[in-house]
Amino acid sequence: MTVRRQIEQLLAAALAAAQADDRLPAIDTDDLGVERSRVKEADFSSTLPMRLARAVGAAPRDIAATIVDSIAPSPMLAEVSVAGPGFINFLLADAWLAERIAEILESGTAFGRSDAGAGRRVQVEFVSVNPTGPLTVGHGRGAVLGDVLARVLDATGHAVQREYYVNDSGNQVRLLGASMYSHYAAEFDVEVAFPAGGYLGDYVVDWARAIAAEEGRRFLELAEDDAVDEFTRLGIELALGAIREHLGELDIEFANWFHESELHAAGAVTGAIDRLRDRGHVAEREGAVWFVHGDEGDDSENVLVKRTGEPTYLTTDIAYHRNKFEEREFELVIDILGADHHGHAPRMHAAMDALGIPRERLTYLICQMVHVVVEGIPVKQSKRAGDFELFSQLVADVGPDATRYHMLARAADSQMEFDVDLARSQTEENPVHKIRYAHARIASILRKAADQKIDTAEADLSLLTEAPELDLIRTMLDYPELLDSAGRTLEPHHLPHFALNLAGQFNSYYHVHRVISEDKERTRARLQLVSAVKQVLANILGLMGITAPERMVREAEAEAETGA
RNA sequence: GCGCUCGUAGCUCAGCGGAUAGAGCACUGGUCUUCGGAACCAGGGGUCGGGGGUUCGAAUCCCUCCGGGCGCGCCA
């Protein structure tokens, strides 16, 4: 149980006691307003008295005093007081704090994890980039966000599935096929018109050439339509291969790759239209079939089936989501979308209503754009022009750890700048480096202790009395709370900030206080403290998918070693 | 024009109803040579885009204006 929960229980009991003997009127409150305190005199504060003031008809400070009188003594609390306009302040006891180290070490990798999600089936669908080319850095942001979100949900007790939706039908992939076919034919001096709006990236030429080299001119024997079919199939394969490979460099893997073509094959798309028609949400006019719903004013009608008889993207996506909820019975689905597709979310929510599926079960997280900055100059990204910044380039340049950290450190709904020079940096101006280095530093201290045959199994934790030591423990105890909140709000961007803060606190502590000293007893206690910090750093880095090294080797040293 | 979103320190960003608004970097001044100096300590720096409203209390909620981004296809 988190510390906050424990304090809430003490407070709830005190309120009930005060109400039982009529010192306070019986008023129901669902929120006790207990939060980490912003003032240094307290660890936790409750705003309950101020919340109650109006209903009770008394001054907040008086209510606070009444409640404080009823709070049962607890070994965890050093002091409970009334402060400011009517806060109840809770100060944790030093001895109690010190003892938490044992709990953290005992929990180990499980420290912070919870079963708050109660095994609920959740799907996180992310990336889902059209298989028409490699990932851009913008896609990469969604990839990291989705992956870490899945990790967070798993750590908070959900049954999580990661899924990639492959749009392997329709115009876009066919356009890729046609673009490749044109380049392919050119290899044999046969001119095939490049399609309007075709794909311009260099990779299209590369792929076409590779096929020409491997397969020869046999596709030229086919009718153009059939040849484009073949190239579409090959293009999808190549694109997915590249995407899979580049995600793999960040250890991002999907449990399921769901192909749009499966929906068509199973008749799920026409099934979805029938379903909407049954529920009175379909109209036919102008040769097209329309989805009619009450939302969005002017946008309350959308085409389901084009005049050509083909379903639109919206229609297959409705079928797809029906499959998620009705066939596969996910309780909650989280879709991560790029900002350029955010307009899709309200339509899908309208579709959920129309299908009779509660719209709260479908959450869209919108990922805003990423501006890559190199030497202070923004790198222009334009997929159309073919000179876009590739995600794989970025990862190759700054490494998976820095990529993950910096992508994660900003709230999804803010645009972000990715400073390549900072991310590349191997000094402590780079936050990722600082955190990983703190972990390695502790590992180094523990190695030294082991060399000196210091037994760390038993320690008198009450010897941890220095303010920075107790503050480190306080920070570590915030970790379960942080994780829980990240799981509820779906906002993993707090993780990197927490890790940076803990690493910074440790750095300050270790510079002032020697862990290994002549004082054997204190040494053992501090080694346990420092082990706990290492554990928490490892846990949070693991959650972000960032490596936690036992030692760090400078690039210069690494070169010297391999050179020698 | 309509919709979504962002506007907080010189820069990049947290905070999103509570008590003197925070971090990293940058800047200034110190400490100094390590249990890994790939530092640490201290300090300066903010009309929380402007205005109005709700509230005991607003960076946080509502309205409005200004500015940036993204959408508004029988594309996906």
**What integer best gives the mean pLDDT of chain A?**
92
Closest residue to B11 (CA, C1′): A376
Rounded to whole angstroms, the distance from the CA of residue A546 to the C1' of nucleotide B65 is: 44
Distance CA A479, CA A502 (A): 10
Least confident of A151-160, A183-192, A309-318, A424-433: A424-433
pLDDT at A560: 54
Model confidence band, residue A84 (pLDDT cutoffs 50, 70, 90) = confident
Nucleotide nearest to A310 (CA to C1'): B74
Rounded to whole angstroms, the distance from the CA of residue A36 to the C1' of nucleotide B49 is: 30
State whether the beta carbon of A411 lies below 7 angstroms from any atom of strand B: yes
State whether the beta carbon of A369 lies below 7 angstroms from any atom of strand B: yes
CATH of A429-560, one of 3.40.50.300, 3.90.470.20, 3.30.70.2190, 1.10.730.10: 1.10.730.10
> Two tokens at A180?
């490749």
Number of Cβ atoms within 10 Å of the Cβ of A172: 18
- The domains of chain A are located at 3-92, 429-560
pLDDT at A295: 66
What single letter denotes the amino acid at residue A177?
A: G
Task: Report which secondary-structure segment, H or E, holds A34.
Answer: strand A34-36
State whether the beta carbon of A195 lies below 7 angstroms from any atom of strand B: no
- By three-state DSSP, how is residue A162 classified? strand
Which nucleotides on chain B have any atom < 7 A from a protein Cβ?
Answer: 2-7, 12-16, 18-20, 22-26, 35-41, 56-57, 68-76
Distance CA A184, CA A173 (A): 16
Residue in the structure block whose two tokens are 């805003």: A368
Residues 6+ apart with CB under 8 A from A143: A126, A127, A135, A247, A250, A252, A391
Residues 6+ apart with CB under 8 A from A278: none
Percent of chain A surpassing pLDDT 90: 80
Residue that wins the pLDDT comparison between A379 and A198: A198
Residues of A (143-182) placing their beta carbon closer than 7 angstroms to any atom of strand B are 167, 170-172
Closest residue to B15 (CA, C1′): A494
Model confidence band, residue A388 (pLDDT cutoffs 50, 70, 90) = very low
Provide φ and ψ at A119, rounded to 5°.
70, 15
Distance CA A465, CA A484 (A): 29
Rounded to whole angstroms, the distance from the CA of residue A73 to the C1' of nucleotide B73 is: 67
A165 CB-side CA count, 13 A: 21
Residue in the structure block whose two tokens are 């008749």: A267
Model confidence band, residue A350 (pLDDT cutoffs 50, 70, 90) = very high
Number of Cβ atoms within 10 Å of the Cβ of A193: 10
3-state SS track over A257-322: EEEHHHHHHCCHHHHHHHHHHHCCCEEEECCEEEEECCCCHHHCEEEEECCCCCECHHHHHHHHHH
Residues of A (475-504) placing their beta carbon closer than 7 angstroms to any atom of strand B are 491, 493-494, 497, 500-501, 504
- By three-state DSSP, how is residue A140 classified? helix
Rounded to whole angstroms, the distance from the CA of residue A74 to the C1' of nucleotide B62 is: 43
Nucleotide nearest to A410 (CA to C1'): B13
Nucleotide nearest to A344 (CA to C1'): B71
Residues 6+ apart with CB under 8 A from A330: A121, A122, A123, A161, A324, A361
State whether the beta carbon of A61 lies below 7 angstroms from any atom of strand B: no
Q: Which CATH class is domain A3-92?
A: alpha beta
Model confidence band, residue A457 (pLDDT cutoffs 50, 70, 90) = confident
Write the ipTM: 0.94
Each residue's pLDDT tens digit, A270-309: 999 999 999 999 999 989 999 998 765 556 789 999 999 9
Rounded to whole angstroms, the distance from the CA of residue A452 to the C1' of nucleotide B72 is: 69
| A245 and A390 Cβ atoms separated by less than 8 Å | no
Nucleotide nearest to A558 (CA to C1'): B38
Residues 6+ apart with CB under 8 A from A255: A161, A162, A163
* Dihedral sign of CA atoms A237, A238, A244, A245 in order: positive
State whether the beta carbon of A443 lies below 7 angstroms from any atom of strand B: yes
Residues of A (513-552) placing their beta carbon closer than 7 angstroms to any atom of strand B are 513-516, 551-552
Each residue's pLDDT tens digit, A124-173: 999 999 999 999 999 999 999 999 999 999 999 999 999 999 999 989 99
> Two tokens at A225?
């339509």
Segment A346-352 shows an average pLDDT of: 93
Residues 6+ apart with CB under 8 A from A479: A111, A112, A498, A536, A539, A540
Long-range contacts, A69-74 (Cβ 8 Å, 24+):
A69/A18, A70/A13, A70/A14, A70/A15, A70/A17, A70/A18, A70/A23, A71/A10, A71/A11, A71/A13, A71/A14, A72/A10, A72/A13, A72/A14, A74/A10
Rounded to whole angstroms, the distance from the CA of residue A433 to the C1' of nucleotide B30 is: 26
* Helices and strands of chain A, counted as H and E runs: 20, 15
A471 CB-side CA count, 13 A: 15
pLDDT at A88: 95
Residues of A (200-259) placing their beta carbon closer than 7 angstroms to any atom of strand B are none
Distance CA A237, CA A145 (A): 25
Look at residue A445 and tell me whether its pLDDT is greater than 60. Answer: yes
pLDDT at A557: 55
